[in-house]
Amino acid sequence: MKLYNNTAIPDDLLEFIIKEAAKAIKPRVRHGNVVVKVNRAGERCSGFAERCDYVAKSWLSPRRYKGDHRRVKTDKGLIVLRVPKAGDPILWDSHLWREPLHIASKFFDLCLHEWGHILDFQKGERFGDYNRRWANRPHERRAECYMEEARERGLSQSAQTSILDLAVHLESEAKGELK
Ligand SMILES: [Zn+2]
C-alpha cells in the first residue's frame, strides 16, 4: 500500500489497520501498490474507491506536494478514507458514534468495503447502474458482501489488535493527551 496520510494519526497505526482489512478480504486482494489517501473527517467515517492507474501527487497530499506534477502509479485503484476525531469523552455513553472503539471498528468496516471495490477493479468486474440508489448498485452490494463475509469469518487476532490500537489513539487524542 502507498499511504498518503493527511492526519495526525501515526502512519504505522493506519498502515496496520488498513492492511489487516485487506488481508481479511477473500479472495485475496493485491494491496502492495494500491494508493490510499487518509484525511480527517467531520463526524463519521466515510470514503470511496476509484478505478485508475495513476494519481496526481499534489492531490494526494496538497500540503506536502503543492505544485508537484509527478504522478503515483497504483495497482488498479485508489482508496480515499476519512476518519473522524472522537468526540467529547463526557458524551461517549450517549453519542456512541463519537466513541473511539466505535469509530475504529467502523473505520475497519469501511476499509473492508473499499478493498472490496479494489478487488473488483483488479478482477475486471463491471461497475455501473449509477442511476440506481447507492445501496442497490450491484458493485456496492458486492462490496458490502465482501465486508460482511469477512466479519462473519471472524477477525484475526492482529485485525482486532489493529482496531484497538486505533481506538486507543483516538481516545488519547480526545482526552487531550496529544497535541
Ligand atoms: Zn462503495
The 10s digit of each residue's pLDDT in 80-126 is 999 999 988 888 887 788 899 999 999 999 999 999 999 999 999 98
- Return the SS3 of 42: coil
The whole model's pTM is what?
Answer: 0.94
User: 138: pLDDT confidence band, cut at 50, 70 and 90?
Assistant: very high
Retrieve residue 35's grid coordinates.
494508493
What's the gap in Å between 63 CA and the centre of ligand 1?
27
- CB atoms near residue 155 (< 10 Å): 18
What's the gap in Å between 121 CA and the centre of ligand 1?
12
Tens digits of residue pLDDT in 17-40? 999 999 999 999 999 999 999 999
pLDDT of residue 179 exceeding 60, the answer is no
Cα-Cα-Cα-Cα torsion 41, 43, 49, 54, nearest 10 degrees, comes to 0
What's the gap in Å between 129 CA and the centre of ligand 1?
13
In the chain, what percentage of residues exceed pLDDT 70?
99
User: Is residue 55 in a domain?
Assistant: yes
User: Is residue 152 in a domain?
Assistant: yes
User: Is residue 43 in a domain?
Assistant: yes
Please tell me the total count of domains within the chain: 1
Euclidean distance between CA atoms 170 and 160, whole angstroms: 16
Instruction: Select from 37, 26, 51 the least CA-distant residue to 1.
Output: 37
State the residue range of the domain holding 62: 2-174
For the chain, the first-to-last Cα distance in angstroms comes to 28
User: Is residue 179 in a domain?
Assistant: no
What's the gap in Å between 130 CA and the centre of ligand 1?
12
User: Is residue 143 in a domain?
Assistant: yes
Please compute the mean of the pLDDT values over residues 39-58 and round it to a whole number: 93
What's the gap in Å between 10 CA and the centre of ligand 1?
26
Average pLDDT over the chain, rounded to an integer: 94
What's the gap in Å between 90 CA and the centre of ligand 1?
33
Please compute the mean of the pLDDT values over residues 73-78 and round it to a whole number: 94
What's the gap in Å between 38 CA and the centre of ligand 1?
16
Residue 138, preceding peptide bond in cis (omega within 30° of 0): no
User: 166: pLDDT confidence band, cut at 50, 70 and 90?
Assistant: very high
